[in-house]
């Protein structure tokens, strides 16, 4: 007569940054066969299952603190979900197994598997927030309350160019229409996009990026994910939570979250962060970083993970 024992995932003894990068890659690879089939949930489901399995044996005490699926009612790694063997460093991750599921479902460029990692407690915990207003740029010190024309002028002067050379990306939603119109009225070149918030923020944060500013209300999970990469790239970012419904506002109020407070990178994420991305469909992260499906890119360091 045989006895059954609880299954324990095998310990993955590779360096932790490689394990997390591989989990991101495997999520993307699992989603690729579903590209163009029109089924967003199938794309998300395949990526989530692959990432969860890859994380199970990581030599870490891991916790998911920011995820994307709850907002979209899609398959997800759950907020508060634990992963790893329980040994090794205590880490938190902000994760979206596929950022841009609609893009992947339609076989459009810009979908990627993304993960940011930091020591325990280093990320801003956004709780039930779904939406966030943000400014991302490589020009520091912008005023989130300033008129758009003033912001465009400041960026132009910092770059030594005219307003016509300033490039602004705004997610094409009714909530952001006034910002997009104001940027165009100020003379800037405006890139309106439907999906792909993270991709544009990386392009704006890079020192040699081909965007100067990403502005407007987008997903709050993407905002925290983006912050880790922006910080590692030496960019600048400010944000505040921006509920888009009475129900979301009520949840945030019940959780004691101040939606009027503007936070910078120091509060969004700690200085010791790493960011991993793998393309599901072709992705453009700026000059010299154009990824085909299955190709990966990372920024930041996990040297702190070995300091036990």
Q: Evaluate if residue 269 carries a pLDDT over 50.
A: yes
Q: pLDDT digits over 26-82, tens only? A: 999 999 999 999 999 999 999 999 999 999 999 999 999 987 645 545 456 888 899
Q: What is the pLDDT of residue 38?
A: 97
Does 131-268 match 16-121+272-306 at the fold level?
A: no
pLDDT digits (tens, 9 = 90+) for 73-111: 545 688 889 999 998 999 999 999 999 999 999 999 999
Torsion sign (Cα): 277, 281, 282, 285? negative
Q: What is the 3-state secondary structure (H, E, C) of the chain?
A: CCCCCCCCCCCECCCHHHHHHHHHHHHHHHHHHHCCCCCHHHHHHHHHHHHHHHHHCECCEEEEEECCHHHHCCCCCCCCCEECCCCCCEEEEEEEEEECHHHHHCCCCCCEEEEEEEECCCCCCCCCCCEEEEEEECCCCCCCCCCHHHHHHHHHHHHCCCHHHCEEEEECCHHHHHHHHHHHHCCCEEEEECCCHHHHHHHHHCCCCCCCEEEEEEEHHHHHHHHHHHHHHCCEEEEEECCCCHHHHHHHHHCCCCCCCCEEHHHHCCCCCEEEEEECCCEECCCCCEECCCCEEEEECCHHHHCC
Architecture of domain 16-121+272-306: 2-Layer Sandwich (3.30)
What is the token pair recorded at 186? 């100020």
Q: How many CB atoms sit inside 10 A of residue 121's CB?
A: 11
- pLDDT at residue 7 is higher than 90: no
Is the pLDDT at 2 greater than 50? The verdict is no
Q: Give percent of the chain above pLDDT 70.
A: 93
The reported pTM is 0.90
Label residue 307 by pLDDT band (50, 70, 90): low
Task: Determine contact, residues 34/104, Cβ cutoff 8 Å.
Answer: yes
Contact 64, 80 (CB under 8 A): yes
**Residue reference for tokens 């979209």:** 72
**What are the sequence ranges of the domains in the chain?**
16-121+272-306, 131-268
| 131-268 to CATH, choices 3.40.50.300, 3.40.109.10, 3.40.190.90, 3.30.460.80 | 3.40.190.90
Over residues 151-168, the mean pLDDT reads: 98
Question: Would the pLDDT of 305 be above 90?
Answer: no
């Amino acid at each position: 007569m045989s006895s059954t024992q609880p299954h324990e995932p095998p310990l993955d003894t590779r360096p932790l940054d490689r394990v997390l990068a591989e989990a991101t890659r495997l999520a993307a690879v699992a989603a690729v066969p579903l590209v163009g089939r029109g089924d967003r949930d199938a794309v998300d489901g395949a990526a989530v299952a692959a990432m969860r399995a890859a994380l199970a044996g990581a030599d870490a005490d891991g916790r998911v603190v920011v995820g994307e699926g709850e907002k979209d009612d899609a398959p997800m790694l759950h907020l508060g979900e634990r992963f790893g063997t329980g040994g090794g460093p205590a880490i938190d991750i902000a994760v979206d197994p596929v950022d841009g599921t609609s893009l992947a479902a339609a076989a459009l460029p810009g979908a990627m598997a993304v993960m940011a990692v930091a020591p325990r407690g280093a990320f801003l915990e956004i709780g039930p927030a779904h939406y966030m207003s943000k400014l991302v740029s490589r020009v520091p010190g912008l005023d989130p309350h300033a008129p758009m024309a003033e912001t465009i002028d400041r960026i132009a002067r910092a770059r030594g160019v005219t307003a016509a050379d300033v490039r602004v990306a705004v997610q094409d939603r009714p909530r952001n229409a006034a910002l997009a119109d104001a940027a165009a009225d100020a003379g800037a070149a405006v890139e309106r996009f439907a999906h792909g918030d993270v991709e544009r923020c990386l392009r704006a944060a890079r020192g040699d990026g081909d965007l100067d500013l990403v502005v407007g209300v987008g997903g709050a999970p993407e905002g925290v994910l983006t912050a880790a990469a922006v910080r590692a790239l030496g960019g600048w970012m400010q944000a505040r939570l921006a509920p888009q419904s009475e129900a979301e506002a009520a949840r945030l109020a019940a959780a004691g979250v101040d939606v009027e407070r503007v936070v910078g990178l120091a509060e969004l994420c700690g200085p010791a962060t790493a960011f991993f991305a793998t393309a599901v469909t072709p992705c453009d992260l700026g000059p010299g970083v154009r990824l085909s499906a299955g190709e990966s890119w990372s920024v930041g360091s996990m040297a702190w993970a070995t300091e036990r």
